[in-house]
Structure 1
Amino acid sequence: MKKIVLGACLAISLLVFAGCAKETVAVTIDPMQKQTLESSSLSYMESLGSLPAEEIQKSIDQAEHDRNAIVYNGLTNYLNSMHRLGAFVSADSAEAVQEADGSYRVEITSTFEKRKLHLTLGLSEDRQAFTEMTFEPEYSFGEKFGDAAGNLVVGMGTVIVVLIFIAWIISLLKYVNVFEKRRKAGGQAAAAPAAVPAQKAAAAPVNVSGAELEAVIAAAIAAYEADRDGESDGFVPGPTLQNGLVVRSIRRR
């Protein structure tokens, strides 16, 4: 039910918006103006078809100098299509209409050696300037399919070649890494200082108790006194030793 309701709402909305479309006002062109435009357009196509490529190129250069983009682009497209059109045969028909804004549009059909050509000319309201110039050669289905296939092959070939080139560049990155490692290793080897002999390890502190310290000092004093006894007669005046040292107390700090 929800889908049905939504579908009905969508249909109603489309009908409402379609009714709000702007009404197209048909403009009736004056018969004399219509005949004049059609005859002048056929004459323009005949004169253009009889021009050689060099003269068309001069017209293109003049349009570029005058900054007339419409004529420049139109004649450039026609010049690029000349080898596929062949020689000009005839200007067959022309149909002129007037637009709602007052400008004119003329559809011209011409016959060339290889195919037909459809030319659309747009003219301003005063018919003094081109507002449109479109050349459309009539190609067969086989030619269109061939052009599309050629564009596909060229596009895909370009993509494949670019991808192969990128893959080759990526494969070379590993050599860059190896070169960088070698360069760093060479720099470190050149900057490495001469080996310095290891310093002797500092003697580890020895924990000595108070009794052991007293015994060591007493032994040192006794050894010193023994050396002194060998140099004198051994007489010791008073309660002191010969060297005047008196051991009163020993404290560990």
Structure 2
Amino acid sequence: MKKKISIVLCAVMTAFLATACTASRQVAYDQDTLLDATEVLIQYCAGADETVREQWESLSDYELEYQLMQSGLPFAPEGFLGALEAWPAAVEECGAYEGHGDFEITADGDEIHVTTMGEFAQRKAEIEVVYDADSRLDSLSVSAEYSMGEILEKAGLNTILGMGTVFVVLIFISIIISLMKYIPALGTVFQKKSKDVSEKKEEELTEAEASGGEDGMDQELTDDAELVAVIAAAVAAAEGTSADGFVVRSIRRRPSNKWKA
């Protein structure tokens, strides 16, 4: 039992010592080099215009890496391009860049943070430049400082916008619900129209059949009159007389159409 307790205590102490060593270990860096690199980065971003940014972005990965290596500054390509893209947004939000205060450098795990308070035309902003464990540029960010009045104004606008959106949606839903009572009436109207159309089609079909029957009877009578005239003419020719004196009372078809000798 004592042996098991000793093993557990040793494991706990080992874990505690490992955690303490990890917490106390900090990334090594050259402070002066990072401060100089941060100063150059801020000044370059502040002076770069749209044309300069487009020129950097048009370079290939190899050309960009070579240019930054020739500068002798610890700038990674991704971090440098990200800083160039972030600066115009900061200027748009805070106004034109005017200067900055002293730098403060701190190490947090595998990252090195260099911060300073920037002076812009409209408001102050915290400029933070982050380097990785190899002291290469990772990112640049500018966080504007707003007054209490500006914060409350933004909060009020966000509240009004949110509540307005909710009320608009609720009104729209209420309108849809109020219109649902007309759905049965519309269904009845459509059914009535469909029934009227069906009845109209049936009437037209009946009229067409009736007119077709009458035409058939007329045609049959016409055919009989022609047949009578033909028979009367044939009999008159056989007798050698005129067909005016013949009257055909009826016509019957013979069982066979063969002539007997």
The TM-score with structure 2 as length reference comes to: 0.52
Is the Cα contact below 8 Å between 2:103 and 2:115 reproduced in 1?
yes
Residue among 108, 116, 127 paired with 1:99:
108
Structure 1 residues 201-249: Cα deviation after superposition (integer angstroms, max 9, x where no partner)? xxxxxxxxxxxxxxxxxxxxxxxxxxxxxxxxxxxxxxxxxxxxxxxxx
How many angstroms apart in 1 are the aligned matches of 2:150 and 2:178? Answer: 42
- The answer to whether the 8 A contact 2:117-2:126 is kept is yes
Moved over 4 A (4+): 59-63, 68-78, 189-194
Structure 1 167/59 Cα, relative in aligned 2: closer, same or farther at 3 Å?
farther
Which position in structure 1 is the counterpart of 2:156?
Answer: 149
Cα 1:189/1:114, change in 2 over 3 Å: closer
Gaps (5+ residues) in structure 1? 1-19, 195-253
Q: 1:109 touches 1:117 (CA, 8 Å); kept in 2? A: yes
- Of the three residues 179, 191, 194, the one matched with 1:187 is 194
Pairwise mapping of residues 63-78 of structure 1 onto structure 2 (< 5 A)?
A: 78=87
Q: Does structure 1 retain, via aligned residues, the 8 Å contact 2:129–2:137?
A: no
Instruction: Name the one with the larger helix percent.
Output: 2
Residue number in structure 2 paired with 1:27: 26
What number of residue pairs does the alignment pair up? 169
Q: Whole-Å Cα distance in 2 between the matches of residues 141 and 100 of structure 1?
A: 33
- Scaled by the length of structure 1, what TM-score is found? 0.53
User: 1:42-81 counterparts in 2 under 5 A?
Assistant: 42-52=39-49, 54-55=50-51, 58=54, 78-81=87-90
1:1-253 alignment to 2 at 5 Å? 22-23=19-20, 24-25=23-24, 27=26, 29-30=28-29, 33-52=30-49, 54-55=50-51, 58=54, 78-101=87-110, 103-130=111-138, 132-191=139-198
SS in 2 for 1:114: coil
8 A Cα contact 2:116 2:127, kept in partner: yes
Deviation, structure 1 residue 168: 2.3
Q: Given residue 49 of structure 1, which amino acid in structure 2 is its aligned partner? A: A
**Preserved contact between residue 60 and residue 71 of structure 1 (Cα < 8 Å):** no
SS at 1:127 equivalent: coil
Identity of aligned residues (%): 22
Q: Deviations over 1:16-61 (max 9, x none)?
A: xxxx8x542252745xx11110121122112222334x35863896
Compared with structure 1, are the counterparts of its residues 97 and 159 closer, same or farther at alpha carbon in structure 2 (3 Å cutoff)? same
How has the CA–CA distance of structure 1 residues 149 and 168 changed in structure 2, closer, same or farther, with 3 Å as cutoff? same
Structure 2 stretches lacking a partner, 5+ long: 1-15, 65-76, 204-261
Residue 213 of structure 2 aligns with which residue? none
